[in-house]
Amino acid sequence: MKKQTLFWILAVVITISTVIYQRKTGPTYPVNLTIEIEGADIEVSLPRSHGGSTDREISIAVPGEDIEGLIIYKRYKTADPLDTIRMVTQGQDLIGYLPNQPPAGKLEYRVVLESNNRSYTVNEIPVIIRFKGSVPGFVLIPHILFIFSAQLLSLVAGLFAVYRLRRYKLYGILTIVFLFAGGFVLGPVIQKYAFGAYWTGFPFGQDMTDNKVLVAMLCWILAVVMNIRKDRPAYAWIAALVFFLVNMIPHSMFGSELDYETGVVNTGMILLF
């Protein structure tokens, strides 16, 4: 097998693995739990993200009609009193709905199941769910394809650069093209649909996703420029390494968050203080 083909296969495997890792470790991935009630294991998936103007459904498949459920919630980072939603039985499922919130608004909630006068708390630690506006598929799908393609091309360029295969320059340029289209054209459009702002990274905010794209782009622009007149592959594989490392940061980390008191949507590290 040719070395170039091997590098492409390796890059595809790493890209897919990175995407899966990002999604499963990010703050928008559902919390999956199992709780035992009277000898029966009940699988529960608690969502942490919801887009659109509808309320967010919480659905739990239960083994019998004698099991009831409650959703106890309040607005995140507020002094609101806890509110309770009683779930209803539909077929073999318990169904409840968290009320929709403005874009970047968050709720914290716990689920409690009841059977034979006993209560079972599904999640002792409240789950945080963030709401956002609806993002149309004709924007979201190409954005994902462009970003994933940029990650793949970056890895290929870096591997080629390590072994001084000349096409690393071409793949570096293509990385910039796909990253620009996905991260700087379609990315802000998605951000506007979801949270009402085109760009919340530096210098306007500290949104981690926007800043990841910015760092990757600057590194690859530097690598391409430094290889125009002379072969300097080290810049390319360093740029590829940086892009890989920023992609290991979970997706949507330190994203937009609505301050219910001020009505302002904050982003990034400022949320930690």
Indicate the SS3 state at residue 29.
coil
Mean pLDDT to the nearest integer, 123-135: 95
User: Are residues 51 and 174 located together in one domain of the fold?
Assistant: no
Length reported for the chain:
273
The pTM for the full model equals 0.85
Within this chain, do residues 101 and 128 fall inside the same structural domain, yes or no?
yes
Rounded Cα–Cα distance for residues 105 and 8 (Å): 41
Domain count, the chain: 2
Q: What percent of the chain has pLDDT over 70?
A: 96
For residues 47 and 66, what is the distance between their CA atoms, to the nearest angstrom?
Answer: 24
Question: For residue 107, what is the domain's CATH number?
Answer: 2.60.40.10
Does residue 32 belong to any structural domain of this protein? no
Same domain as 143, residue 127? no
Give the per-residue pLDDT at 252. Answer: 61
Distance of CA 233 to the CA centre of its chain: 32
Q: What digits encode the pLDDT tens for the residues 41-58?
A: 999 999 999 999 999 999
Band of pLDDT at residue 269, cut at 50, 70 and 90: very low
Same domain? 147 vs 122: no
Residues 189 and 55 in one domain: no
Q: For residue 73, what are the β-bridge partners?
A: 83, 109
Write out the residue range of the structural domain in which residue 112 sits.
Answer: 38-132
31 located within any domain: no
